[in-house]
Amino acid sequence: MRIVSRGLRMIRIFAVSGFKNSGKTTLCRKLLSELARLGVRTGYIKRTSDEVLDDDDTDTSAVERMGVASALWGTDGLCFEEAETKPFTPEYIVSRYFPDAEIVILEGGKYLDLPKIWVESGEPRPAGVRGVFMVYDRGAAGDGKLRFGEGDEAIIAGRLAATVRGSYYRSSKVYIGDRPLPMKDFIADFVRGAVLGMLASLKGGKDPQAPVRIYLDGEAKK
């Protein structure tokens, strides 16, 4: 497993690889959505063989040619650009641009040395592709172990989440004081759904992107 260390915290990098038009982007979007629902901090990288930097004679491109990372700050957002003066690695990109992530999904990169979810398209997998630990085929049913199909994205995301939250990862956790309350998966999912459902009716409570914390004072003894 490819891991980037940030102090005592580890960032996992997983590739979603396959041929063009196999459904990689669709799967990435679903996984990112499910991981966000589980409260996992994620990042996303798309590996492409196309040129991505602005090669016009602009101030920004001149700075990039100097080997200096730059940022474009506009009214609609922020875009970082950095010329590849030496070969980039997934570890470098993640440590520089996703330092707070727990999991980073890299779309593409079939020949990179990363653990991979291979997206089937009907074409034989190239012999040089290594590190495949899971196969996704949207046109076939999965076995729930190594092969997964359309509709299994939540299961896949749960498996990925478990790599950073432990094998006993739950979609919600309840503590009585400092003591965690044991819950089965379906109870944890029920608690999460009930809380998010109630919050959705409140202003600012719909689709929270950050973890939700609720504090209840103990019952006063009379």
**pLDDT digits 0-9 by tens, 109-122:** 999 999 999 999 98
**Considering only 29-33, 74-78, 80-84, 217-221, which range has the smallest mean pLDDT?**
217-221
pTM of the model: 0.67
CA 133/CA 142 separation, integer angstroms: 14
Q: Is the dihedral of CA 93, 99, 105, 111 positive or negative?
A: positive
CA 71/CA 69 separation, integer angstroms: 7
123-148 mean pLDDT = 90
pLDDT bucket at 137, cuts 50 / 70 / 90: very high
Check residue 8 and give its pLDDT: 40
- Please, what is the average pLDDT of the chain? 81
Number of alpha carbons in the 13 Å side-chain half-sphere of residue 181: 10
Question: 2-53+85-165, what's its fold?
Answer: Rossmann fold (3.40.50)
Kindly state the percentage of the chain with pLDDT values over 90: 29
pLDDT bucket at 213, cuts 50 / 70 / 90: confident
**16 vs 2, residue with greater confidence:** 16
H-only helix segments in 1-99: 24-37, 59-65, 90-97
Residue 67, pLDDT above cutoff 70: no
The domain segmentation of the chain, as residue ranges, is 2-53+85-165, 171-222
Check residue 167 and give its pLDDT: 58
CA 164/CA 160 separation, integer angstroms: 7
CA 56/CA 173 separation, integer angstroms: 51
117-133 mean pLDDT = 92
Amino acid making up residue 68: V
**104 vs 75, residue with greater confidence:** 104
Q: Distance of alpha carbon 128 from its chain centroid, rounded?
A: 25
67-74 mean pLDDT = 73
CA 22/CA 17 separation, integer angstroms: 9
